[in-house]
């Protein structure tokens, strides 16, 4: 079952942004986000 995770990440400019991701677990959400944004630094992942 896919759950909604909120990923907080730091963009190139240094601003922390957040984006929702649907995934089966936390590590899968991290991998999916890094596929589309490989340069971003993930600061926190929260389950909604």
CA distance 32 to 17: 16
Higher pLDDT residue, 44 or 14?
A: 44
Per-residue pLDDT reduced to its tens digit, 8-38: 999 888 899 999 999 999 999 999 999 998 9
pLDDT at 13: 84
Task: Encode the chain in three state secondary structure.
Answer: CCEEEEEEEECCCCCEEEEEEEECCHHHHHHHHHHHCCCCEEEEEEEC
pLDDT at 14: 86
Domain count within the chain: 1
Domain with 7 in it: 3-47
- The residues pairing with 9 across neighbouring beta strands, listed in sequence order, are 17, 42
pLDDT at 42: 94
């Amino acid at each position: 079952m896919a759950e909604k995770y909120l990923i907080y990440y730091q963009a190139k400019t240094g601003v922390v942004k957040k984006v929702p991701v649907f995934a089966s677990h936390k590590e899968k959400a991290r991998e999916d986000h890094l596929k589309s944004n490989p340069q971003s630094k993930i600061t926190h992942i929260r389950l909604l």
